[in-house]
Structure 1
Amino acid sequence: MKSHFQFTNQQRNGIFLLLIIIIAMQCIYAFVDFSDDASSVETNEIDTFRKELDSLRLIEIENSKPKIYPFNPNYITDYKGYTLGMTNEEIDRLHQFRETNQWVNSAKQFQEVTKVSDSLLNKISPYFKFPEWVTNPKPKTSNYNNSFTNNNEPKTFNQKIDLNIATASQLQKVYGVGEKLSERIIKYRTKNGGFVADVELTEVYGLMPEVVDRIKNGFTVKTPRTIKTYNLNTATRDELVLIKYIDYEVAKNIIEERTLREGFESFEELTKIEDFPIKKLEIIKLYLRL
């Protein structure tokens, strides 16, 4: 053991120098900052870039959300109600109310019918858009008197005005028909080349059933436009799809049902066909014959 701890002067000097170097290195490591400024800058750039990505991601998520445009709450579909945040029960209540041929004419009535919460109503009611005759009804005056509204006595065909030549001012004499609705009626008439039958009034947007009835009290189609009709029992699929509201799938179902029945005996039999637009039967019948 003694031989291991006996050093020459040169060895002792080397050991002493080694200790000094070790102590010096420890001091340098403890008190000198070896951090890389470039690395810090890169870290800051990465953080900035990450924040930009996060903000862009939030913007994309916000843009992907369904946008709400003004709409008539009477025509809310299942999908529309879902996107608005309504429950299935609330949507069903609205549909059941509409099936009774009643109309929602205010945000308050909408809540009474659907039972939606106040918070949801406050969120969606600013987008409600009702017909002009609901939002801006004509003032009732004591001297208001015209043959179309106050006379309940049925008019003969000759007494009625031809709907295909009626002017906007004549139409506006009907209670419930304002400037906008009369313009829509004439626009529809012009676009289609005239009315075929009185039932086409139901195709004019915004005309309520009771207003249509009032119009038909004083107006009727006397000069219907000429249209091509198709024999229901011989028409091909390509001919049937030319009729409004009939697509290829409905046309295919009509032909299959026609084959099973060996021909239709009445137009009402069409209501038994799968996916047939029953509510538009009266319009479709204008283009068919038996």
Structure 2
Amino acid sequence: MNWLRSHLTFDRGQRDGIFRLLALVLSLIALNVFVEFEAKTKLDMSAPMVEKLQAEMDSLKRVQKEKNTREIYPFNPNYLTEYKAYTLGLSVSEFDKLKAYREQGKWINSVSEFKKVTGVSDSLLKEISVYFNFPEWVTNRKKSGKNYVNNFDRELDFSEKKDLNTATATQLEEIYGVGKTLSKRIVAYRNKIGGFASEEHLYAVYGLKEEVIERIMNRFAVKTQIDIDKMKINEVSASEIATIPGISFEKAKKIWEFVRVREGLENLSELEKIEGISARELRLIRLYLSTE
């Protein structure tokens, strides 16, 4: 018993420590029993930052909704771009068929022809065909009920041709392949340079394809003469060459360097050797430059 009494005998400091430990344990037990702990919400939805983020999300949703319901404007299906075709709902293969058809120099002039070429479904055709805007000559043909064949590839005699320098945009629209945009662009460019000195000036009009230019030249000719003071290619600077419509300063510099290296040219046809100079640009160069 003496050994047990020795283990249970504590000095004053040890007794104070035991009492403090017991008091702490009892306090924790009482706190756990009588005090209810509520879990705090991890995210306060009414916080200013949360409300700001929610507002931004709502704004993005509205923008996306507006994109999905974007208004469709009338368009010529012959000039349908790949992106436009995608937004309208055409498949890649349907657009490729249309592209291949146009690359052959052929034109779509009716809703049924668009269906035949692309193979789009009747439901999609019904939805988008209301926005088709064909050239005026097609519309006029339908209104008049005449069923004639396009004969713009046949060249008229010079006396029968209309003056290209006095032709109106409406008259130019009669040419197969020239719509309202291109006809206005031709007239605007003609006014800008003070009149065409040659039918070759048409090659400087942006967007005019060569086959369309040929059709215009079959029906129109420059009858009101406009003189051009040609520059001597062996004497002009690169800056002067760059004043030629359709010739960039980069191309002008290349031409100037080509002439300097050869210490002058005897014939403008030598310019064909310059890499990057197209036949279309050479036509314009001949209007403004000479070797004499």
Q: Please give the TM-score of this superposition, normalised by the length of structure 2.
A: 0.59
Corresponding residue for residue 238 of structure 2: 237
**Residue in 2 aligned with 1:33?**
37
2:191 — aligned with what?
Answer: 190
Partner of 2:9: 6
CA contact (8 A) 1:228 1:287 kept: yes
Distance 1:244 1:103, change over 3 A: farther
The aligned residue for residue 276 of structure 1 is: 277
Q: Could you report, residue by residue, the CA deviation over 1:53-108 in whole angstroms, capped at 9, with x for unpaired residues?
A: 7778999999xxxx99979876979xx89x99x99xx99x969974x6x2564866
Unaligned runs of 5+ in 2: none
Q: Could you say which residue in structure 2 is the equivalent of 1:155? A: 157
Which stretch has the larger CA shift, 8-17 or 228-237?
Answer: 8-17
Q: Give the Å deviation of 1:244.
A: 2.2
2:198 is aligned with what amino acid? A
Tell me, yes or no, if the aligned pair for 2:137 and 2:173 is still in contact at 8 Å: no
Determine the C-alpha separation between the residues in 2 that align with 1:263 and 1:168: 42
Q: Which letter does structure 2 place at the counterpart of 1:191?
A: K
Q: Distance in 2 between matches of 1:187 and 1:17?
A: 101
Partner of 1:289: 290
Alpha-carbon distance in 2 for matches of 1:270, 1:19: 108
**In 2, Cα distance between equivalents of 1:176 and 1:97:** 11
Match of 1:257 in 2: 258
Contact 1:172 / 1:179 at 8 angstroms: preserved in 2?
A: yes
CA separation of 1:25 and 1:144: change in aligned 2, threshold 3 A? closer
1:149 and 1:214 in contact (8 A); partners too: no
Q: 1: distance between equivalents of 2:190 and 2:136?
A: 21
Matched with 2:27 is 24
Listed as ranges, the matches of 1:1-290 within 5 Å are 2-6=5-9, 15=18, 18-29=21-32, 31-33=35-37, 41=44, 47-48=50-51, 98=103, 102=105, 105=108, 132-133=135-136, 136=139, 138-139=141-142, 141-142=145-146, 154-156=156-158, 158-167=159-168, 171=172, 182-204=183-205, 209-290=210-291
Q: CA deviation at 1:220?
A: 1.0
**Which consecutive residues of structure 1, in runs of 5 or more, have no partner in the other structure?**
none
Q: How many residues align?
A: 264
* Contact preservation (8 Å) 2:204, 2:246: no
Which segment drifts farther, 53-62 or 206-215?
A: 53-62
